Amino acid sequence: MAPGDATDAQMAAVADLADAYSLGEIRVSHEQNLILANVKKRDLYALWEKAKAHGFATPNVGLLTDIIACPGGDFCSLANAKSIPIAKAIQQRFDDMDFVYDLGELSLNISGCMNSCGHHHVGNIGVLGVDKDGAEWYQVSLGGEQGSGATGAHLGRVIGPSFSAEEMPDVVAKVIDTFVEHRADGERFIDTYNRIGIAPFKERVYASRQPAHA
C-alpha cells in the first residue's frame, strides 16, 4: 500500500493487536510506521504472523521503499500536486526487495507543497510537488539528512528543473544508478552523495533531457 494508506479493516486489526500484545498502545512515527510498544519477546513471532496476514509485514524500514509521503492533492486542499501516486509508482519500480536491501539505508520523502508535511527537505532524496501553469510538476532534491548520523542534519539541494509525474520513477532510478556506480563497499547513499557531490547525479538525470521548465 502507498505510505499512510490503510483500510478500515487493517486499522481495526492493528487496534486488536495492540490490545493483545502492547497494553493497548499504538505509536505512529513521523516516518508513518506504526509501533507497538512493550511487546514481550516470546510474543514477537506470533505478532509478526498476524501482522503479516493483515499486510503489515513489509520488511523495508529505513530503506528506499519505506517512503514518507503527505496526503498530497488526493486529500489536501493546500497541495500543489499529488504525492501518493508518485510514492506508489516508485515503490512499484523498485519491487525487488533483494535490490532494495543491497542499497542499504536510504530515505525518500515526498511533499505535495511547501508546507513540507512529507519532510522532503530532509530526505536523502526529496520530492516536492509544484504547480506550473495549472499542471503538476515535481522538484527533486538530494542530500537531505534527519540528523541521526555522524554528520548531523542537512537540507537537501535541488538538482535542477522539475519533472512531470510520469518521469519521476525514471528520475529516481537514474539517481539510484548513479549511487550504485560510485558507491564504495557498504557505503550509505548519503555518504556517497557527500563524497562525490551533486554533479554526477545531476549529469545522469538530465543527460537525455532538453531544458524546458525551471
Q: How many residues does the chain have?
A: 214
Which alpha helices (DSSP H) does the chain contain, by range?
Answer: 8-21, 44-53, 84-93, 97-103, 168-182, 189-196, 199-206
Of 3.30.413.10, 3.90.420.10, 3.30.70.360, 3.40.50.10860, which CATH number belongs to 68-206? Answer: 3.30.413.10
What burial class does residue 83 get, using C-beta atoms within 10 Å of its C-beta: 0-12 exposed, 13-18 middle, 19+ buried?
buried
Q: Where in the chain is the domain with CATH 3.30.413.10?
A: 68-206
What sign for the dihedral angle of Cα 172, 5, 121, 133?
A: positive
Beta bridge partners of 28: 34
Cα distance from N-terminal residue to C-terminal residue, the chain: 32
Per-residue pLDDT of the chain (214 residues; tens, 9 = 90+): 556 678 899 999 999 999 999 999 999 988 888 999 999 999 999 999 999 999 888 889 999 999 999 989 888 998 999 999 999 999 999 999 999 999 999 999 999 999 989 999 999 999 999 998 889 999 999 999 987 656 678 899 999 999 999 999 999 999 999 999 999 998 999 999 999 999 999 999 999 765 544 4
Q: What does the pLDDT read at residue 148?
A: 62
Beta bridge partners of 77: none
Q: Which residues contact 132 (CB under 8 A, 6 or more apart)?
A: 162, 213
Assess contact for 140 and 159: CB atoms under 8 A: yes
